[in-house]
Amino acid sequence: MSKLDFTPDEMMTIAAARALKNDDVCFVGIGAPSAACNVARLSHAPDITLIYESGTIGTAPDVLPLSIGDGELCETAVTTVSVPEMFRYWLQGGRVTIGFLGAAQLDRFGNINTTVIGDYDHPKTRMPGGGGAPEIASSCGEIFITCKQSLRTMVEKIDFFTSFGHGDGGDAREKLGITTKGPSLLITDLAVWNTDPVSKEFVVSSLHPGVSREDVQATCGWAVRYADDMDVTPPPTANELKVLRDLKARTKAAHGGAKKEKAA
């Protein structure tokens, strides 16, 4: 990659943020999705409704939460409900337009594994498991996924179906009676991928500035497909970068500092 005045990680977060609209209701996974959703809120989508599975609805944190239940999520929320209510009325109720997930292991059809590497009963690595993701994946209007590319993450075949994307592609969701759209967008540190409307596999629609097709394939475990009308992702604007960097700086000051700095 050529030398740029932003990092691939910044480009990823900003490209992901751009996918969100002002009237979206977004169920936010922790980590990369949380950064993207809050950058969207702090830039072009000030009225976006962000929901975390801890029960906080319409939250507007000043710094990124370390956990999905940080106190500031509640303090800035429109309302905070119990976790059973969150999963029943709000997620299962069909009120969420976008579920934004990360992935430890991902295939070309947007199926996600965050449970185990290896065999379930005798795992090589026991990961945290699904948490809210299995039902986020089926109940939200559509699913955006964001993760850094690597051969360990983007694999031909995932070890465990924690969250169902498009299965083996095509009409796999319909066959299971799932009525929501499923994964429709993948934003990595190298590219933006859309979902092919028929095969339902991810197809690169734009490369981030300075990224080559070889870069993408070298960090992806499946044979990469490209859209016919490929674009270059517009680089971050000065404002987008400022919003993201200010947010990260505030977050670092709040979470990373000495204990005495953290007292409110």
Q: Name which of residues 176 to 215 contact another protein (CB under 8 A).
A: 176-178
Closer of 71 and 242 to another protein (Cβ): 71
Q: Residue 195: in which H helix or E strand, if any?
A: strand 191-195
Least Cβ distance, residue 53 to another protein (angstroms): 6
Q: Of 6-14, 141-149, 175-183, 228-236, which part binds another protein (CB under 8 A)? A: 175-183
Q: Name which of residues 76 to 135 contact another protein (CB under 8 A).
A: 77-84, 86-89, 91-95, 115, 120-121, 123-135
Cα separation, 147 vs 103, in Å, equals: 6
160 binds another protein (CB under 8 A): yes
Cα separation, 152 vs 157, in Å, equals: 11
Least Cβ distance, residue 186 to another protein (angstroms): 18
- 145, 32 in Cβ contact below 8 A? no
- 29, 100 in Cβ contact below 8 A? yes
Q: How far apart are the first and last CA of the chain?
A: 42
Q: What are phi and psi of 215, to 5 degrees?
A: -55, -45
Closer of 75 and 196 to another protein (Cβ): 75
Closer of 134 and 234 to another protein (Cβ): 134
Among 155, 172, 227, 241, binds another protein (CB under 8 A): 172
Closer of 38 and 54 to another protein (Cβ): 54
Q: Name which of residues 40 to 69 contact another protein (CB under 8 A).
A: 47, 49, 53-58, 65-69
Closer of 8 and 130 to another protein (Cβ): 130
- 205, 192 in Cβ contact below 8 A? yes
Determine whether 53 is an active site residue. Answer: yes
Cα separation, 231 vs 192, in Å, equals: 9
Least Cβ distance, residue 64 to another protein (angstroms): 9
- Cα separation values, 62 from 216, 228, 254, Å: 34, 40, 10
Least Cβ distance, residue 8 to another protein (angstroms): 21
- 57, 76 in Cβ contact below 8 A? no
Among 30, 50, 185, 243, binds another protein (CB under 8 A): 30
What is the sign of the dihedral through the CA atoms of 42, 133, 78 and 259? negative
Q: Which listed residue (10, 53, 201, 240) is catalytic?
A: 53
Active site residues: 53
